[in-house]
A and B are shown apart, each in its own frame.
Chain A
Amino acid sequence: MTPLDEITAAIRTVLADTGRSAPDIAPGRLLTADLGLDSLDLAQTIVLLERSLGIDPFRQAAAVENRPTIRTVADLVAIYTSALSSPPSQTP
């Protein structure tokens, strides 16, 4: 599965777990305005992704300091794609 597939699946689980129906989850969708995700939902998404992808790009100190704005599904995909392609040990 691609990062987009994993992210889509995670968001679906979050919405289902919280008793909400899953709208169309496309890369251009806004996480808050379109999908209705709050910070708890995002935190859960990240935990689910850590389980499926084996990484949590938000836990690394550098990532927290220069955390890019996460507004859309595509923003999330970019963060995970970049984290997956650069092993964390190479961070200076």
Chain B
Amino acid sequence: MTTAANATTIAHLADAPPEDRLASAVGLVARQFPDRTAIVAEAGGDARRVIDYATLAAAIAKLEAEVAAARPVGIVARARRVESLAVIAAACGREHVPVAFLAEDARDLVGELRDWVVLDDSLALPAAAAPRREFETVPPQVVVATSGTSGPPKLVEHSWDSLLAAARLAEQWHGRGWLLVYDATRWAGLQVWLQALLTAGRVVVPVSRDPDIVARACVDEDVSILPATPTLLRRLITSGDRGLVTRMPLDRITLGGEAADAPLLARAAELFPAAKIGHVYATTELGEVFRVGDGRAGFPAEWIGRQLPGGARLSLRRDGELLVQLSRDTAEVATGDLVERRGNRFEFTGRRSDVIVVGGAKVFPRRVEEILRGVPGIADARVYGLPSAITGELVAAEIVAHDPLPAGTTPDQVRSAALAVCRERLEAHAVPRVVDVVKMLTTTAAGKIPRR
């Protein structure tokens, strides 16, 4: 294990202005350990690239100088490579130039950022159409697009302070390998690579989300921290090569983006006994609200109505929707997430917008998925709504059968068994009417399950 870059200096990064921290951290590591790997891109593929801290720091310094000379109103990071995104973010922060990260599905929103210049992987800064006059007075900011899981993507403005609020600078986090399976331009992805680069760590980006590629990347690149959606972790556990998956040197799994259910948490704990498994409740608009580290689904019931360590207050609407008030002087925000009390916990039942309405009756797709995942022969399931002129919507499902199936079992038999179990345990309108056996579930760019 290499010595972490001067631990105290990294810990003191928190004293630096937040917009300076990324450039400072990269510069710091580059001076002490120029050859240290910052990013492994396309891990597990033929075009695997390794970017060290010295290279990253030099690119930041170069762009910083250009940005200082050009004084653009703002910069839209339209790069695909993580190293380019990091360079743009660091240079913009240092130079107090607002920066926007637009994911693929949010590119049309660039029209809202008038006079901003667009920077791609070439990192060649075009001449600014309208240079800013008062260069130092505009507060630095970061613009991120929401994932569009519920409704069309929209732009959300953050301060550098809120962007980095969840980053942990303590020594236990230094020099670690972080897996980046999220889109690097979205809130969740930004959190991962920022955290890694702020703490002299390595960002490992697998060439695809194929479970074997992901597992291989973790083993080969010594990844110890895996941030993922429950959907991606479930895919890794159910479809990844078992020998490879159990060799992943994970000591921390942080789930987010969707609710983590109890069976998945239990399965993960069994497969990765050395890993601490927790889940984060965060949204692009609110940032990180809370973390649950006890390995159980949902959160403790006593958290409702009480101020949490991060300062947020949770409350519930009559229908079970979770409300969040980030601080005393901010408004309460409806999250769209529905929770239900089970014993001394509140567990997530799904997003309000996920509810499928069949002939006026509501169906919670997560509940149907949990039943399907319990059917022998089924590795994973996705439940979604199909539009219907007759009933408004119809419940549909994709199921992934175990590979290989027990001798003598056909995918069709698994499908029939699934339907039989659903008929027994669900009301008629909630039983999936269209069931497809697939190799891999459909997921969104953010690694979540689409519900329509």
The answer, yes or no, to whether A1 is at the interface (CB within 8 Å) is no
Contact among A17, A59, A64 with B433 in the assembled complex (CB-CB below 8 Å)? A17
* Contact yes or no, A44 B434, CB < 8 A: yes
* Contact yes or no, B391 A43, CB < 8 A: yes
The answer, yes or no, to whether A46 is at the interface (CB within 8 Å) is yes
Contacts of B373 in A (CB 8 A): none
Contacts of A76 in B (CB 8 A): none
Q: How would residues 45 to 75 of chain A score, 1 for a CB under 8 Å from any chain B CB and 0 otherwise?
A: 0111000000010110001100000000000
The answer, yes or no, to whether A19 is at the interface (CB within 8 Å) is yes
C-alpha gap A18/B420 in the complex (Å): 8
C-alpha gap A44/B419 in the complex (Å): 14
Contact among A17, A39, A56 with B419 in the assembled complex (CB-CB below 8 Å)? A17
The answer, yes or no, to whether B17 is at the interface (CB within 8 Å) is no
* Contact yes or no, B433 A46, CB < 8 A: no
Contacts of B420 in A (CB 8 A): 19
* Contact yes or no, A47 B391, CB < 8 A: no
The answer, yes or no, to whether A40 is at the interface (CB within 8 Å) is yes
C-alpha gap A56/B389 in the complex (Å): 9
* Contact yes or no, B423 A47, CB < 8 A: no
Contacts of B435 in A (CB 8 A): 17
Known contacts A17-B419, A17-B433, A18-B423, A44 near B394 by CB under 8 Å: yes
Per DSSP, chain A at the interface is helix
Contact among B386, B389, B394 with A64 in the assembled complex (CB-CB below 8 Å)? B389
Which residue on B lies nearest to A48, using beta carbons?
B434
The smallest beta-carbon distance between B40 and chain A, in angstroms, is 42
* Contact yes or no, A40 B428, CB < 8 A: yes
Which residue on B lies nearest to A67, using beta carbons?
B389
Which residue on A lies nearest to B390, using beta carbons?
A43
Contacts of B387 in A (CB 8 A): 59
Contacts of B434 in A (CB 8 A): 44, 47-48
The answer, yes or no, to whether A84 is at the interface (CB within 8 Å) is no
* Contact yes or no, B390 A58, CB < 8 A: yes
B-side residues, CB < 8 A to A, are: 358-359, 386-391, 394, 396, 419-420, 423, 428-429, 431, 433-435
Contacts A43-B388, A43-B394, A43-B433 given; 7 further ones with Cβ under 8 A?
Answer: A17-B419, A18-B419, A19-B419, A40-B433, A47-B388, A47-B434, A59-B389
- In the complex, 29 of the A-B residue pairs with CB atoms within 8 angstroms, ordered by the A residue number, are A17-B419, A17-B433, A18-B419, A18-B423, A18-B431, A19-B419, A39-B359, A39-B390, A39-B391, A40-B358, A40-B359, A40-B391, A40-B429, A40-B433, A43-B389, A44-B394, A44-B433, A44-B434, A46-B388, A46-B389, A47-B388, A47-B394, A47-B396, A47-B433, A48-B434, A56-B389, A58-B390, A59-B387, A59-B389
